[in-house]
Amino acid sequence: MHLPNLQEARSRTKKEVSINRYSCNIEYYVTNKNYLILTYGCQMNVHDSENIKALLESVGYNETTNISDADIIVINTCAIRENAHNKVFGMLGRLKKLKENNPNLIICMCGCMPQEEHISLEIRDKYKYVDIVFGTHNIYQLPQLLKEYTTNQKQIIEVYSIEGNVIEGLPVKRDSQYKAWINIMYGCDKFCTYCIVPFTRGKQRSRLKEDILNEITALKNDGYIEVTLLGQNVNAYGKDLYSSYNLAALLTDVSKIGIKRIRFVTSHPWDFTDEMIDVIAKYDNIMPYIHLPIQSGSNSILKKMGRRYTKEEYIVLFNKIKQKIKNVSISTDIIVGFPNETDKDFEDTLSIVKQLQFDLAYTFIFSKRVSTVAYTLEDSVDLATKKQRLAILNKLVNESALNNNKKYLGKTVDVLIEGYSAKDNKLMGYTDTMKLVNLKGGASLIGKIKKVKITNIKTWSLDGEIDDR
């Protein structure tokens, strides 16, 4: 058993990160068995799940989407807010019943939650039916852990606080044949005072540019149309590895590979350089869409959050991006109810949202995370006030989303058609500016970039039809 330790997770060592190549020499293999994976949280978890799927398939499991057919269920968890926790604990309750009916069912828990010391302890003490627990740093050990579990039939908790290395060459089973997630860096060193991620994902570690470029070249050769470069703070790419090679240089090199669409998330405003803006503006295959979390419009709250920019600096950056990148769309994240947020602080957030008219905003109520700086802050604001503030903010961000969509009405835009949407039998896809478009059409359109005329607009999506002219 190896439990995580928060004291260790907080520390940042100067120890050099080694880059290890994955190879599996565990002799463990199953036949006629199915796995099901449940993924919560951000794109990083979605991509980790693609690795977990491939690892499970490498030892013989087949994927199922029917929970009652599964011989092994993996829950890949998120720790960002309390409601993410609650969803996972709710699901664990369901799985307990399944396990009572099928004692051979193997339940695995991984992702960001087990990286939290108190969660791993809770699983050890109260959730004995969770068989294998591993963290974000040792996904590659899954075949070994499975072998160990099937031999001993004892709960395994194997979670490391200190990020070890960058593991290259993990197998991957991608969810899409057209769009691919590419990690360009792991971890985060920003330590915003509300955020658990620097604890659950460890210190910032960039991948070697050669490894990233080779992966993308191979994807292009396999017919992929879109790549999204992933990191908690992609703008800081390379700082831990190179003296001058940075995100602007990486974007330039990725662009030259010639893949049709390049995206990246997430950008922290602090590291956003002019050089980057120029590169995004220059290359047509770098999509004009930027997710630029502001978090708050109050300078005093921004300072307490440790975001290291002022609202004025954010506005300058926002305007520069709007001016230089033609047709760009910008979305954001906003937290309301940070401890002791005053009416005036909240007004400042509303005022900046009115002024900047974001294309989209993901809004959250502050959630206390164990071990973060904000965890210990006294808070004079009650939950009812926070909920009220969230509702007022949401109304405003929805208005600006709808307003932004108005300029698309009657226009013809490029849409990468991804498949049929779950709720109706319409096709869905995204514009270069990341607007969701629904349209009628046949399956032969899937996986292609098509000209689509926008016929109707909504707050969260656009309706369109194929424009054959």
The verdict on 47 binding ligand F3S (CB under 6 A) reads no
Cβ 16 to ligand SF4 shortest distance, Å: 22
- Rounded CA-CA distance 345/348 in Å is 5
Burial of 11 (0-12, 13-18, 19+ CB in 10 A): exposed
The verdict on 374 binding ligand F3S (CB under 6 A) reads no
The verdict on 198 binding ligand SF4 (CB under 6 A) reads yes
The verdict on 191 binding ligand SF4 (CB under 6 A) reads yes
The strand pairing partners of 205, in sequence order, are 186
Nearer Cβ to ligand F3S (110/259): 110
**DSSP per-residue letters across 194-254:** T--HHHHS-S-EEPPHHHHHHHHHHHHHTT--EEEEE-TTGGGTTTTT-SS--HHHHHHHH
| CB atoms near residue 465 (< 10 Å) | 15
Instruction: Count the site residues for ligand F3S by CB under 6 A.
Output: 13
Among 112, 113, 185, 195, binds ligand SAH (CB under 6 A): 195
Nearer Cβ to ligand SF4 (47/190): 190
Respond yes or no on whether the N-terminal peptide bond of residue 266 is cis (omega within 30° of 0): yes
The verdict on 159 binding ligand F3S (CB under 6 A) reads no
CA 21 to chain centre: 24
Task: Tell me which of ligand SF4, ligand F3S, ligand SAH, none is bound by residue 198, counting a contact when its beta carbon lies within the kind-specific cut-off of 5 to 8 angstroms.
Answer: ligand SF4
Angstrom distances, CA of residue 180 to CA of 83, 262, 327, 383, 404: 28, 10, 24, 39, 27
Residue 133: enclosing H or E segment and its boundaries? strand 132-134
Among 47, 85, 179, 190, binds ligand SF4 (CB under 6 A): 190
Between helices 343-356 and 311-324, what is the axis angle to 10°?
A: 10
The verdict on 233 binding ligand SF4 (CB under 6 A) reads yes
Task: Tell me which of ligand SF4, ligand F3S, ligand SAH, none is bound by residue 44, counting a contact when its beta carbon lies within the kind-specific cut-off of 5 to 8 angstroms.
Answer: ligand F3S
Residues in the chain, how many?
Answer: 469
Nearer Cβ to ligand SAH (1/370): 370
Both tokens assigned to 300: 């005093």
Cβ 91 to ligand SAH shortest distance, Å: 21
Among 204, 232, 349, 433, binds ligand SAH (CB under 6 A): 232
Residues at the interface with ligand SAH (CB under 6 A): 80-81, 194-195, 197, 232-233, 266, 268, 293, 295, 333, 335, 364, 366-367, 369
Q: What residues make contact with ligand F3S under the rule CB under 6 A?
A: 41-42, 44-45, 78-80, 111-112, 196-197, 200-201
